[in-house]
Every structure is written in structure tokens, then in C-alpha cells.
Amino acid sequence: MAVALPPGFGFAALRDHLARAGWTETRIPALLPPLIAGEPEAAAFARDDQRLDYRFNPAIRLRILDGPAPQDLPRLSAMDLPALIRSPDPATALLGAGAAAATGQGTLRSLILMRSLRMERPLARQARAFAHQLAPLCAEAAAFPDLASDRQRQCLRLALQHGSPDTADLALFGLIADPDIAATAMIAAARLGLTDLLAAFPRHADGEVRVAIRKLAAATLRGERPGADRSARNRFWHALLGQGEADMDLRLAPLVEPAPEPAPVEGHAGLAFRRVGMVPHWLGDPDSAGSARRVTPMSFLIAERPMLTCAAYEVLPALTDLSKTTGLHLRLPTGDELLCALRGTDGRVLSEDPNTLQDKANGWRSPWGLIFTPDSREFCAVGHLIHSVATSHPVTSVEARLEDEPAGLRPVLHMG
């Protein structure tokens, strides 16, 4: 059984205390002199056929003794450790975390992880290493703080959707990430009942939706539940808990549903295509009641960029010419296909991470990897009619768009 000694209980005092109990120091050859004179970083003591092993971390004054330590030996009790971990001094906090790890205080793991969030990166990693000794972090959680923001979002959303047992760790780290990731983390905490994470919630939030999420997630973890009436607040609360209606689910979809993983570009006749998977997509306008809908298209290949700009009456002749020139069977995307390709599975219009966007001269990437210009329009087919969709704000249904003006032609490759 490991014992954590008080930081002020030096090696000389320990040696004297053990000598009075019949223990004799056994020298351990040191490769380097101790960092603190008279304070070896490792030592051993023997009595009859028993052995005590001592180790000392001089950076945080952590002293650990492994073995049958005398009962009257000064020690840090489990009651002392939470106050040490919460200390504003990082070295003291790490002392408490190290002592908890060495003595197997598993209930303090979440507290250690929370404290790590307010440390500089090298110290935070050490704190997480101590927490890892109490219960291993999954690979995603261990790497989470160092991932790019788009990968952080994806890890947290996948864990939330699939009910990963490691979601608690990911949610904890997500609470100090950018506002949208923190919002996802608060939703995860509320849905999974992670009451220990309430203390780590951001103190403030900005934006109407994020403010509402923070308030309702905190209320949930305090034991409150949405009322029975159909007020907007209660409807949104039910959606936050995963029990919502389509309109409210669409409002939260960009925060909780994993973005698609774009497949590699497929080249045909020198043209670049992206594959849109046969998975459910959200379409609709969160601000338009009754517009939310789920669409699952058949998998299809669509051009990565528009191939030309033309007027509506020129679309069919242009498709015929392109098909003859390339030897490919090309067609217009349907309205739903174009909306799914532009918006992705969670209903977003533009990429959620502006730091990863290309400049406007080269275009923007949709969640499926398509490149488009926000202020442009693109053609699609609705029944036997040809309409165009504004890519900066794709409407709920392209049947509502009747304008006839020049637009981009982005064909679908028919593989049949």
C-alpha cells in the first residue's frame, strides 16, 4: 500500500522515524546527484524480510512510500487531497494529484482533470498523466486538447452519438474549447447526467442558442426537467435532451451530429467528383416552423466544382455537349441532392471552422468537400423543371426558387 508523505517531512526525518521502528536504509546507487542536497529521489529500507521503497519528485515535493509503512508515520490523508488539487498554485495542485494517483484515490480523477484545464500545457499533461493512473483515458480524450478544433468537434460528436463510455472525459476537455465545442460538451453532460462536470461549465456564453444550452444543461444537472407545456423553452429543452421535435432537432444538429468524412476525390475523364454518402441529412430552416426534414439520398458522385456558368435554357444543351466531350453520362443533381451536397448531414451551409476555409478566390468547401462560392447560384432539377439555388443560403425546398438567371452547372455522374 502506497503512502503519500507531507511535503515538509524531509528524507532525514523519514530515515530517523523508520530507524526507530527497526528499519535500515539500503543504499540505491544514483546515476546523478539529487537535485536537492540531502533529498535523494529514490531510496529503500529493509527490516527482516520486509522492504519499503521511497521515491521523491523534487519539482512538486511529492514523497511516496511503498510497502508496510508504520502506522504512526506522518502522511497525507485522503481528506487533505481535494484542497491540494484545487490550489491555485500549480505545483501544489500537482502534488495533490500525484498523491491521489499513488494512493489510488479514484474518486478524485474528475477533479484532477478539471484542475488540469486551468494549467499551462506541460503541467496539464502531467496532471492528466496522474489521472490516467487512476483510470486510463481513451486515446481520443488523451489527445483531445492538442487536436485541431474541427477534429475536437468530430471526436465529441461521435462519442455523444454512439454513447461512448469515454464521453465524460471528452466533454470535460470540450468545456474549455471554443464556444460551439463547449456547447456540444454541455449537451453531452446533460444527456448523460454527468453532474460532476457542472462545476467546469463555462461561466458565460454568447449567442442565443449557446446561452439557452448553458442554462438548460445546468438546470438538467441540478435535477430540473422540462415542463409539460409546449413553450419554445420546453420544446428546446426536450431537444437538448435528445427527445425533441424535428424543428428543434435541426437547430441543434450542427452541434451534436458528426460532420461527414469527405471521401477522396474521384477522377473521371480528367474531371474531379466527390461522393455523397447514403446517410440521413438535415434540410430545412431552423427559423421556419415545419420546414425541418430528414433526407437520405442514394449515394451519388457530384462534380467538386461547377463546370461552367450558363442560363437555364442552356443547361440541357451544355450537359449534352459535356457528356459527348468527356464520354461520361452527366445529369443535373436533383434539388435534394444539391442541398445535401452543399449542407452536409447536419444542415450547415458554410464550413464551421473559418480558419480552415480557403480564400474566396478559390471558393469554400462544403462538408462533403465540394468547392463553391457563397454568392453564387447553382442549377438543379425539380421534376422536369430546372431551378437554381443560392449557395450562400440554400432554401428549404428548391421548388420555392423560380428565378431564371445565370448560374453554375455542377453535374452528377450517372454510373448506371
What pLDDT does residue 56 have? 94
Q: Measured between alpha carbons, how far is 229 from 227 in angstroms, rounded to an integer?
A: 6
Per-residue burial over 286-325, b = 16 or more CB atoms within 10 Å of its CB, e = otherwise:
beeeebbeebebeebbbbbebbeebebeebeebbeebbee
How far is residue 319's CA from residue 332's CA, in Å, rounded to a whole number?
Answer: 8
Residue 320's pLDDT is 94
C-alpha to C-alpha distances, 75 to 41, 85, 215, 345, 351, nearest whole angstrom: 18, 16, 42, 56, 54
Cα separation, 129 vs 136, in Å, equals 9
Give the per-residue pLDDT at 240: 94
pLDDT score for 137: 83
Gyration radius of the chain's alpha carbons = 30
Residue 112 phi, psi (nearest 5)? -65, -45
Question: What is the rounded distance in angstroms from the CA atom of residue 187 to the CA atom of residue 63?
Answer: 40
pLDDT of residue 333: 95
One-letter amino acid for residue 380 of the chain:
C
CA–CA dist 2, 41 (Å, integer): 16
Distance of alpha carbon 307 from alpha carbon 256, whole angstroms = 34
Question: DSSP state, 288?
Answer: S
Q: Which amino acid is at 53?
A: D
Residue whose C-alpha is closest to residue 153's, from 110, 118, 185: 185
What is the Cα–Cα distance from 249 to 284, expressed in whole angstroms?
Answer: 11
Q: How far apart are alpha carbons 26 and 40 in whole angstroms? A: 12
For 52, other C-beta atoms within 10 Å of its C-beta total: 22
Q: Which three cell numbers stand for residue 114?
A: 478539471
Q: What is the pLDDT of residue 401?
A: 53
Q: What pLDDT shows up at residue 136?
A: 85
Within 209-292, strands assigned E span: 266-268, 271-276, 281-283
Residue 47 identity (one-letter amino acid): R
Q: At CA 326, angle to CA 323 and CA 328, rounded to 5?
A: 55
Give me the pLDDT at residue 217, please: 95
C-alpha to C-alpha distance for 15 and 13, rounded to whole angstroms: 5
Inter-residue contact 245 to 293 (CB < 8 Å)? no
The span from the CA of 135 to the CA of 125, in Å, is: 15
pLDDT < 70 regions, the chain: 30-31, 165, 350-362, 398-404, 416
How much of the chain is in helix, strand and coil states, percent to nearest 5? Answer: 40, 20, 40
The rounded distance, in Å, linking the Cα atoms of 40 and 54 is: 9
